[in-house]
Amino acid sequence: MGRSIFNRFTSGQLLGILTAVGYCLAIEAWLGWCTVLAPLFALPLPLLLQMVVLLLLTYIARALRLYGYFVADIKPRFGLTLAITLTHNLFNHLLPARLGEASLPLLLRRHLGVDVLRGTSALVWFRFLDLHTLVLLALLAVFFVPEAALLPAPVHMFLASFGHLFLALIGVVALIPLGAYWLARGAAWRMLEPSSRWQNLLSRLFSGLPNRLVDFGLSWMWTWLTWLIKLLTLAWLLASLLSISWPAALLGVSGGELTAILPVHAPGGFGTYAGGIVAALSALDMDLDATLMAAANTHLVLFSAALISGIAGWLLLQRNTKN
């Protein structure tokens, strides 16, 4: 009986569970969960519920991006697309080093009949847009943070002397997805030897990208909406816990999210997410213990929303499989 239950879990899931347990025990031994959670519980409950609802809205926005990507030819049910999005997000949180990303093409193939290569193409395109948007918002946070005087001297001097140039650079960075889309839809890859293995592979890979500029624009719009809601909500939470400015809080949560979107993500994000927030705020000369507790609470709220919604999505997929 015990062995059959054990076999239901993959090694990655078990690693995530063990890491979560180890993280909880370490926090308890370090400060005690009552001490760590005290600032979070001191916030008004309606405020916390608003933040959780906003985080759940970001999952709906991600599902709409995925739905719009395939609706022209596959016409999936939105509820099923939402369940896939929630399950994929759960795997991303539980598995280390972004290994959970591989679940999206597999889920798309199993539940929507999408070719794995096309699903991978969609995933690569979405993650490119995600990384671009996150970096752009982090750059804006650096520029507008009121605590700029506390930044490292070279950074502060550069912003003070070349602020307009920095804004121009941000403007150029903002247009990168358009250039990438043009290159991907162009003929550069067709210069390879006809009927070669690489040309066939790239042809199938790029065929999964949006065919029309309007489809690309919609996926870009949903990406921006997702990240604006998510980062501003988490920055709202972090600013409430630390009493810092919104741009500074935005810079902090951007650091946490960068650890989640890059392949340095620990199982569950335990340790790495909070570490990213602390690292991003380290130049602002803040109290380390207070920053660590605020970062841990911010991650806890995010992880709880992902865990609860992810389990719901997984259960919906199991029901769909049985039907």
Q: What does the pLDDT profile of the chain (323 residues) look like in tens digits? A: 444 434 444 555 565 556 667 767 777 776 677 787 888 889 999 999 999 999 999 999 999 999 988 887 777 789 999 999 999 999 988 877 678 888 999 999 999 998 888 888 889 889 889 999 998 888 888 777 655 545 556 665 666 666 677 677 778 878 888 877 777 666 555 555 555 666 666 666 666 677 778 888 899 999 999 999 999 999 999 999 998 888 889 989 999 998 888 776 777 777 789 889 999 888 777 888 889 889 989 998 999 999 999 999 999 998 877 66
Q: What is the pLDDT of residue 3?
A: 46
Q: Which two tokens mark 145?
A: 């943070």
In terms of Cα–Cα distance, which of 119, 100, 98 is closest to 108?
Answer: 119
Q: Which two tokens mark 263?
A: 């392949």
Q: Which one-letter DSSP state was computed for residue 209? A: S
pTM (2 d.p.): 0.82
The answer for residues whose C-beta is within 8 angstroms of residue 265's C-beta and 6 or more apart is 92, 96, 97, 98, 259, 272, 273
Q: What is the pLDDT of residue 264?
A: 65
CA distances (Å), 134 to each of 2, 92, 214, 249, 262, in order?
43, 17, 22, 14, 11
Number of Cβ atoms within 10 Å of the Cβ of 296: 25
Q: Are 276 and 256 in contact (CB under 8 A)?
A: yes
Q: What is the pLDDT of residue 2?
A: 41
Q: Are 298 and 276 in contact (CB under 8 A)?
A: no
Helix 176-185, helix 153-174: angle, nearest 10: 40
The answer for residues whose C-beta is within 8 angstroms of residue 29's C-beta and 6 or more apart is none
Q: What is the pLDDT of residue 261?
A: 80
Identify the H or E element spanning 183. Answer: helix 176-185
